[in-house]
């Protein structure tokens, strides 16, 4: 396997989604169209990478019967994984879509408390996986697994000359700005948190993002004037996803990160192409119902309709 990507999801989840006619407070609401999928930013990225035929291994912490179900779901997709087993149970996340308003309610739980020996096991696992060309860390952090633990994983990868992609919430990203990172993809709100600004326009965001290139090779900011901006040492690019009917936003950002990582892992460092594939993957997932990520054939079709320009 020439290009192998390892994804680490510190706080995976069993994502349960369904539909209701209308949520009524203080009344029992019956949920229909139940879907159960393996979730978490890093896991979603791994699922898209697998669909794009990029060799990938998913890792992180899993525990209890919920963790076993997540493992079985990944097995069903044919996705390779090597998780560290933990004492406490993996969390459940819920996404409920109202058929009447087409709005979603998303409930995300804290997750299991991670023990020190379990953190040590994850650090050892990274060194055991040979041939890894890129590490993608995605999602929130579970209780007792803090920034210091995350930095330990990043430094272990850097010691092995493995480039690191971080797709974590903005409050986590802001603690990592002084370390070398290959790619980040904050949305505009998270970018405001990172830069201490309230910039809105493409050119204003570009000006701020360029300053982050000191330690980060690719800075992609989504939700900028209806599209996404990718800033690299070799140029800046802006594009918008093709027009599609949005069914769910769950996993769209993870899909975008995965498609961009796939291009970089294949040796394609064209900022325009990286962003174009990322936008296509995000749109493909947006067009699926909650819990169902974009299909490779749809990503390829939407790629042809995606336009990216130099800014």
In the chain, beta strands by DSSP E: 4-9, 13-20, 32-39, 56-62, 80-81, 84-85, 91-98, 104-108, 132-138, 164-167, 181-184, 216-224, 227-232, 235-240, 307-310
Q: Looking at the predicted structure, is the pLDDT value of residue 289 above 90?
A: no
Rounded to an integer, the average pLDDT of 192-198 is: 95
3-class SS of residue 170: helix
Summarize pLDDT for 138-155 with one digit per residue, the tens: 999 999 999 999 999 999
Looking at per-residue confidence, does 24 or 141 come out higher? Answer: 141
Summarize pLDDT for 237-255 with one digit per residue, the tens: 999 999 999 988 999 999 9
CB distance 208 to 191 below 8 Å? yes
pLDDT class of 1 with cuts at 50, 70, 90: very low
pLDDT class of 234 with cuts at 50, 70, 90: very high
CB distance 145 to 114 below 8 Å? yes
pLDDT at 25: 86
Rounded to an integer, the average pLDDT of 161-181 is: 95
pLDDT at 90: 98
Q: Looking at the predicted structure, is the pLDDT value of residue 3 above 70?
A: no
Question: In percent, how much of the chain has pLDDT > 70?
Answer: 99
294: part of which helix (H) or strand (E)?
none
Q: Looking at the predicted structure, is the pLDDT value of residue 225 above 80?
A: yes
Determine if the pTM surpasses 0.85: yes
Looking at per-residue confidence, does 247 or 220 come out higher? Answer: 220
Rounded to an integer, the average pLDDT of 202-226 is: 97
- Token readout for 26 is 């203080």
Summarize pLDDT for 91-139 with one digit per residue, the tens: 999 999 999 988 889 999 999 999 999 999 998 888 877 778 999 999 9
Phi and psi, residue 139, nearest 5°: 105, -175
Quickly count: other Cβ atoms within 10 Å of residue 225's Cβ.
13
pLDDT class of 216 with cuts at 50, 70, 90: very high
CB distance 124 to 59 below 8 Å? no
pLDDT at 252: 96
Question: How confident is the prediction for the chain on average, in pLDDT?
Answer: 95
pLDDT class of 2 with cuts at 50, 70, 90: low
């Amino acid at each position: 396997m020439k290009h192998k990507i390892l994804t680490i999801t510190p706080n995976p989840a069993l994502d349960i989604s369904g539909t209701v006619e209308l949520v009524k407070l203080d009344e029992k609401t019956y949920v229909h169209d139940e879907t159960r999928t393996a979730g978490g930013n890093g896991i979603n990225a791994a699922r898209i990478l697998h669909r794009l035929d990029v060799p990938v291994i998913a890792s992180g912490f899993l525990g209890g019967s919920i963790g076993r179900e997540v493992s079985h779901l990944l097995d069903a997709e044919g996705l390779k994984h090597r998780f560290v087993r933990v004492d406490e149970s993996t969390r459940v996340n819920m996404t409920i879509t109202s058929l009447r308003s087409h709005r979603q309610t998303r409930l995300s739980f804290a997750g299991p408390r991670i023990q020190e020996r379990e953190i040590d096991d994850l650090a050892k696992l990274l060194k055991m996986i040979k041939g890894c060309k890129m590490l993608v860390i995605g999602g929130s952090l579970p209780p007792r697994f803090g920034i210091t633990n995350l930095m330990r994983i990043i430094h272990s990868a850097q010691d092995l000359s493995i480039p690191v992609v971080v797709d974590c919430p903005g409050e986590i990203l802001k603690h990592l700005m002084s370390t070398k990172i290959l790619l980040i993809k904050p949305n505009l709100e998270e970018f405001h948190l990172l830069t201490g600004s309230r910039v809105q326009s493409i050119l204003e965001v570009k000006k701020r993002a360029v300053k982050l290139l000191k330690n980060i090779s690719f800075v992609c900011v989504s939700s900028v004037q209806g599209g996404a901006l990718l800033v690299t040492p070799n140029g800046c690019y802006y594009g918008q996803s093709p027009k599609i009917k949005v069914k769910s936003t769950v996993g769209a950002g993870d899909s975008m990160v995965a498609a961009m990582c796939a291009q970089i892992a294949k040796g394609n460092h064209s900022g325009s192409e990286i962003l174009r594939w990322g936008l296509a993957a995000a749109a493909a997932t947006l067009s699926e119902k909650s819990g169902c990520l974009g299909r490779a054939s749809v990503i390829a079709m939407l790629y042809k309709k995606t336009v990216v320009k130099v800014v």
